[in-house]
Structure 1
Amino acid sequence: MNATPEVHKPQQSEIVVLTGMSGAGRTTAAHALEDMGWYVVDNLPPQMLQTLTDLVARTPEALPKLSVGVDIRSRGLFPALRESLEAMRAAGLNYRVVFLDADDDVLVRRFEQGRRPHPLQGDGRIVDGIDAERVLMAELKDTAEIVMDTSRFNVHELAAAVHEVFSDEGPITLRLNVMSFGFKYGLPVDANYVADVRFVPNPHWIPELRPHTGQDPDVRDYVLAAGGTREFIEHYVAALAPVFEGYRRERKHYATIAVGCTGGKHRSVAIAEEIARRLTGFRDVRVSVVHRDLGRE
């Protein structure tokens, strides 16, 4: 009796919809994905997205990794994109929306350096175009699985960040970025969760600790020994466990946890390092640490 031949189901394609604010680095991100072996279609009219993804669904082995760039220049962007995303979800396609953002002053500087107008500024200023775009893109940013703040990246650093998020190295299913920051410099635009640790006594007021940072052992020990600090970290990390399981179910692969104090030098740095250390014990998780405002005065 002949054995029934085994039928292999084709592997599902991975699709990234790459979008964001004009000037935030979408072209650089697209080039980074292309260098990693992704098939990249840039500035695709969203009306054509469903046609392309239908083709991918029928022959996933032809385009196992597809990145599609869409931006504000596309007419009818939001209704057409929403319809295409809903169709992709109904078809069970594995896709993620990645939104690139940056601070307004950074975007203005990039447009000025490139000597080109913002696509929405018309007869006004660059900042007028940015303001208009923020209003139009707010809904898309809110629904994105990944939001990347490129304000402090040069092109090489952005490419490296994209590689970190999309590299395929074994069973890592969730990449966590733990970021310390200073509230006086503003909230991180790409934070999924924000922890305020200004309840901890500030080493800034201890003369021998003031010149150092939260990476210094004396500062770290002072912060972690303060009343309530370790209890906060323990309960905060425990509360994140069901969140991460939910992210896996919803196919969300990247998250930023921001930890803030006043200046981003002492308390937030020490506590972010400790939170990151504990998160490395979670299943199939890769953790990186960024100290956004360390070194700023």
Structure 2
Amino acid sequence: MTSDSPRPRDDDGDAAKQTRILLVTGLLGAGKTTALRALEDLGWEPVDNFPVRLLPRLVSTAPGPGHDRNSAESHPLAIGFDSRTRGFDPQRVIAEVDALARRVDIALSTLFLDCGSEELERRYNETRRRHPLAGDRPVAAGIAAERELMAPLRRWADVVVNTTSFSTNDLGRTIRELFAPSAPQGMTITVSSFGFARGMPPLADLVFDMRFLDNPHWVDELRPLTGRDAPVASHIAADPAWQESFGRIRDLVLSLVPLYEAQGKSYLHIAFGCTGGKHRSVFSAESMAHELRKTGHNPGVLHRNLDIGASDLVEGGSRAG
């Protein structure tokens, strides 16, 4: 998940009167249709394959700030679009949506559904569907072209969900946790792990580099495991640097969360990094999520690089990492 700046609010409670709009996009085959169905079940009004250039016109016809929140017209809008949408241009989408997001009568956010290329290829082969951008080339070529096309939107989105290892039920549960209109109105917290070798998360709010910890990659029996596995967790926790350093990180995060909430921030993304995103960062993210739950928060947990088959090669690229 990524994070946005807080929307303007005033003391008269105008934020409660905003029209809530969620843009749902991502890679073809990553689960947009499933996400929209889940949102519909939650009371959102879904509109799929909507030309984003017409979004200002749609918003202008939505109920104004003074409308009855209990009326049939008060449902929040979930608008789906992807690379097949007519006139699709990522940079133009970003510019138009940025302009709308400045309006105080709109609470607008964007969900981007991502998925590993190998898993997308498997899904296409399983359904025997052709990738719209592949033409007469292999499916993998179409997926690569689309990933490049959609990269600006992925970097810019408020929330990124990787569905590589998700079942339909997993995605539905994640959507319910993130976007239930009836859920308590508070800040959504996501704790993630990543590998520096594949780049930092572009819009994380807090980033912690855990590469100072002893690397389980160099222990043969731990190398194929992840930070979710008990032997790896025990190895990292036994590092003399772990307890004090993580304790300070935990105390810092727990002190900052209420301050972010007081500023009206909608999303908070806390990211932990190591070289390959498989061991130290994963254990750290899971540990932080546990600490947040102990204080009454319900963070989502995302592990960006666990779905990458070449993690071992990345992790092993530099012993210093």
Shorter-chain TM-score bucket reads 0.7 to 0.9
Query: Matches of residues 17-36 of structure 1 in structure 2 within 5 Å?
Result: 17-36=23-42
Which of 57, 64, 86 matches 1:51?
57
**Distance in 1 between the 2:229 and 2:147 partners?**
39
Q: CA deviation at 1:293?
A: 4.8
Q: CA deviation at 1:197?
A: 3.4
Which of 93, 108, 111 matches 1:81?
93
Q: Is the 8 Å Cα contact of residues 214 and 269 (structure 1) preserved in structure 2?
A: yes
Task: Name the counterpart of 1:4.
Answer: none
Identity of aligned residues (%): 31
**Distance in 2 between the 1:215 and 1:202 partners?**
15
Query: Matches of residues 164-243 of structure 1 in structure 2 within 5 Å?
Result: 164-167=177-180, 168-179=182-193, 192=204, 195-202=208-215, 220=233, 223-237=236-250, 240=253
**Distance in 2 between the 1:74 and 1:105 partners?**
24
Q: Amino acid of the residue matched to residue 21 of structure 2?
A: I
Query: Matches of residues 254-293 of structure 1 in structure 2 within 5 Å?
Result: 255=269, 257-260=271-274, 264=278, 267-268=280-281, 270-280=283-293, 285-289=297-301, 293=306
Structure 1 residues 113 and 248, CA, compared in 2 at 3 Å: closer, same or farther?
farther
Task: Name the counterpart of 2:103.
Answer: 91
Task: Name the counterpart of 1:107.
Answer: 120
SS state of the match for residue 95, structure 1?
Answer: strand
Q: CA deviation at 1:187?
A: 7.6
Q: CA deviation at 1:36?
A: 0.8
Unaligned 5+ runs, structure 2: 1-11, 313-321
Structure 1 residues 76 and 120, CA, compared in 2 at 3 Å: closer, same or farther?
same
**Distance in 2 between the 1:290 and 1:89 partners?**
26
Q: CA deviation at 1:170?
A: 2.1
Q: Amino acid of the residue matched to residue 124 of structure 1?
A: R
Aligned length: 286
**Distance in 2 between the 1:196 and 1:42 partners?**
39
Which of 112, 117, 134 matches 1:121?
134
**Distance in 1 between the 2:20 and 2:123 partners?**
31
Q: Is the 8 Å Cα contact of residues 174 and 248 (structure 1) preserved in structure 2?
A: no
Structure number with the bigger relative contact order (C-alpha 8 A, sep ≥ 6) is: 2
Structure 1 residues 100 and 188, CA, compared in 2 at 3 Å: closer, same or farther?
farther
Q: CA deviation at 1:209?
A: 8.6
Q: Is the 8 Å Cα contact of residues 191 and 257 (structure 1) preserved in structure 2?
A: no
**Distance in 2 between the 1:137 and 1:145 partners?**
14
**Distance in 2 between the 1:89 and 1:269 partners?**
33
Q: Amino acid of the residue matched to residue 56 of structure 2?
A: Q
TM-score, normalised by the number of residues in structure 2: 0.71
Q: Is the 8 Å Cα contact of residues 29 and 158 (structure 1) preserved in structure 2?
A: yes
Q: Is the 8 Å Cα contact of residues 30 and 67 (structure 1) preserved in structure 2?
A: yes
**Distance in 1 between the 2:173 and 2:100 partners?**
29
Q: Please identify, of 254-263 and 100-109, the stretch whose mean Cα deviation from structure 2 is larger.
A: 254-263
Task: Name the counterpart of 1:39.
Answer: 45
Q: Is the 8 Å Cα contact of residues 43 and 75 (structure 2) preserved in structure 1?
A: no
Q: CA deviation at 1:191?
A: 8.7
**Distance in 1 between the 2:148 and 2:101 partners?**
25
TM-score, normalised by the number of residues in structure 1: 0.76
**Distance in 1 between the 2:18 and 2:272 partners?**
33
Q: CA deviation at 1:43?
A: 0.8
